[in-house]
Chain A
Amino acid sequence: DAKTTQPPSMDCAEGRAANLPCNHSTISGNEYVYWYRQIHSQGPQYIIHGLKNNETNEMASLIITEDRKSSTLILPHATLRDTAVYYCIPSRGGTSYGKLTFGQGTILTVHP
């Protein structure tokens, strides 16, 4: 599995965009980049995933560099409820390879 590097913590003002970087320089060609988040004492929540192209959904946008060695998760208008640990996880698809290996993630704190 590809190794990931994320900043341990980040702060963001409420209403501003939160940009969370992730380095995954050893990602293989068939691995997607998944982003999950975990609010304190809850199970993780899926946010978004991508392979090569940038992706956007109702929660966030995902920007993947052309060489796929890094990505950035963007929360366009952060709210206090977005305070959580954010995990960037490269993983292959399919039930046989669908393991998610959680690293330490980034603790995002959104301030009023």
Chain B
Amino acid sequence: GAVVSQHPSWVICKSGTSVKIECRSLDFQATTMFWYRQFPKQSLMLMATSNEGSKATYEQGVEKDKFLINHASLTLSTLTVTSAHPEDSSFYICSASLLGLAIAYNEQFFGPGTRLTVL
């Protein structure tokens, strides 16, 4: 159980276009989803925390108008990279916390990641 999927697994786009990445919790409901970014040979960096039905909380230095996050249901969060540029090329990973269990401790289940390449 506790499977998180991401779609697409990889995407190549032209500079200036927008790309949407979906994150789904397949067999559980997630009150909170997190979005991370990972550049080559670096660690994961948290971009934003997304709670179902409310606005996302962005980490310092992350542009909220460039990285649009929507968490419309307990099983789906989307990240849209608007007007993508080559420097946005990265590995984007989402995670989800189990409803209820997150109150006691914080076990996050991670998706497989989406590799974005902007030409």
- What is A's interface to B at a CB cutoff of 8 Å? 32, 34, 38, 41-46, 49, 87, 91-95, 97-105
Contact = CB atoms under 8 A, between A and B. Distances in A.
Q: Is the interface of A mostly helix, strand, loop or mixed?
A: loop
A105 B43 CA distance: 8
19 contacts: A34-B107, A38-B44, A43-B113, A44-B93, A44-B95, A44-B110, A46-B109, A91-B106, A94-B103, A94-B104, A95-B32, A95-B102, A97-B106, A98-B102, A98-B106, A99-B34, A99-B49, A102-B43, A102-B46
Nearest to A92: B106
Q: How large is the interface on B (under 10, 10 to 19, 20 to 34, 35 or more residues)?
A: 20 to 34
Contacts of A97: 106
Contact of B106 (A41, A45, A93, A104): A93
Question: Taking chain B's interface residues, is the majority helix, strand, or loop, or is none over half, making it mixed?
Answer: strand
B106 A34 contact: yes
A43 B102 contact: no
Interface in B1-60: 4, 6, 31-32, 34, 36, 43-46, 49, 51
A43 B112 contact: yes
A46 B113 contact: no
